[in-house]
Amino acid sequence: MASRVPKQYLTIAGRSVLLHTLTRLARHPRIAGLMVVLAADDALWPGLSELEGKSVRTAIGGAERADSVL
């Protein structure tokens, strides 16, 4: 993307791509909560613990994407 900011934190209509995505997921009636996997040094995460009345939890990712999904 040739940006100094990771693409999930780029903004659209004043909100990050990540926040747009999490909000859409949180509004789905069959989703009880959200898990966001972050890099250990992610200083841009806004520290959400709740969104749309649902809990938002975080975990530190692994060395590879598959490790983070696991």
Output the furthest CA–CA distance in the chain (Å, rounded): 36
- Backbone phi, then psi, for 7, in 5-degree steps? -60, -30
Tokens of 20: 């747009």
Give the tens place of pLDDT for each residue, 51-61.
999 999 999 99
The model carries a pTM of: 0.88
Average of pLDDT values for 11-26? 97
Task: List the chain domain ranges.
Answer: 7-69
Q: pLDDT band for position 2 (50/70/90)?
A: confident
C-alpha of 28 from chain center: 16
> Is 70 a residue whose pLDDT tops 90?
no
DSSP of 25-62, one letter per residue?
HHTSTT--EEEEEE-TT-------SEETTEEEEEEE--
